[in-house]
Amino acid sequence: MNRIRKIIKSKAFIGITLIIVLLFLNNTSYFAKPLGEEPTLLAHRGLAQTFSMAGIQNDTCTAERIYEPEHSYLENTIASMEAAFESGADIVEFDVHLTKDDQFAVFHDWTLDCRTNGKGVTRDYTMEQLKQLDIGYGYTADGGNSYPFRGKGVGLMPSLTEVLDYFPDHSLLIDVKSNDPEEGKLLASFLSQLPEERRNKLAVYGGDEPIAALKEALPDMRVMSKATMKKCLIPYIAAGWSGYMPAACKHTEIHIPEKIAPFLWGWPDKFMERMEQADNLVVLVGGDGSEFSSGFDSKEDLERLPKGYSGVIWTNRIDRIAPLYNRQNNSD
């Protein structure tokens, strides 16, 4: 009986060992090649003024807490996007809101009150009226003693049409700030008028409802929301050890906090290889997912990246990060 028990234990040990070895071999990055030589750089809101993230909430007026300006650009403007690309950005992210005349204004905040000399929301105004506002009105680095951009932002709020016309060949990430499904439908109608090759360089993310509505109306569009990420990552976490790729991961986008990424099967290179084969754009963001717009904004931040990482990284300071990769830097 003891001999039988020993044999059973021995076989169980061998079986468990084989499973562990197979898991390792199927998910190790040793046999996966990096997808490139350096990261793809995604510039959040173009080249923008940055601010302290301490204690930030959804309704925090970040324009009132900017650092001392190091450049003259304001977020979500054509000039800031152009400067980001000239600095070396591969992709530029920007935000859109619906207007009274069913256009899409490129602007971040839920209301106009923080950054501009206007009140209310973009839906209260036509695009022409929004262009009369000063989008630099509310910026201050010293608690309101001075406003370095006041009077300099009149006419600088662009429409989505203007951005796409100005950057006809660039990769862009569009953030839908509302959770209105009708906004998703309108955006789908707008994007459907673009050539397919242009849409292939665009991606859209935002609230679950507008993204679902957009995807239903425009199935070939690359999109992302919390719902789409869950549909992709939850099954992958459950069965990705086997190499299984959920259908929901195909031709989409996922944003992964750096502290969560190491727990994904095959991270980094094997995971990235699988996602590339699924035509999934993976964007690595800073922190654990609880911070707002946390990015890789300094040399010290980049040192936290996996060795040889060549996926997309999110940065709020393209002017600092791009030169570290010897990218062209022509911004002021």
Structure confidence at residue 239 as a pLDDT band (50, 70, 90): very high
The residue among 156 and 57 whose pLDDT is bigger is 156
d(CA 164, CA 133): 22
Element (H, E) at 212: helix 208-217
pTM: 0.91
Q: Are 99 and 130 in contact (CB under 8 A)?
A: yes
Least reliable range by pLDDT among 70-74, 154-158, 328-332: 328-332
Whether residue 248 is predicted with pLDDT greater than 70 in this model: the reply is yes
d(CA 300, CA 313): 14
The residue among 136 and 36 whose pLDDT is bigger is 136
The number of residues making up the chain comes to 332
| Tens of pLDDT, residues 98-124 | 999 999 999 999 999 999 999 999 999
pLDDT of 294 reads 87
pLDDT of 332 reads 40
| Tens of pLDDT, residues 289-298 | 776 668 999 9
The mean pLDDT of 155-176, rounded to a whole number, is: 98
Whether residue 11 is predicted with pLDDT greater than 60 in this model: the reply is no
* Burial class of residue 314 (count of CB atoms within 10 Å of its CB; 0-12, 13-18, 19+): buried
Whether residue 14 is predicted with pLDDT greater than 70 in this model: the reply is no
- Nearest CA to 249 out of 269, 278, 221, 277 is that of 278
Note the Cα 307 to chain centre separation in Å.
Answer: 22
pLDDT mean across residues, the chain: 90
Whether residue 278 is predicted with pLDDT greater than 70 in this model: the reply is yes
- Nearest CA to 272 out of 313, 240, 310, 236 is that of 310
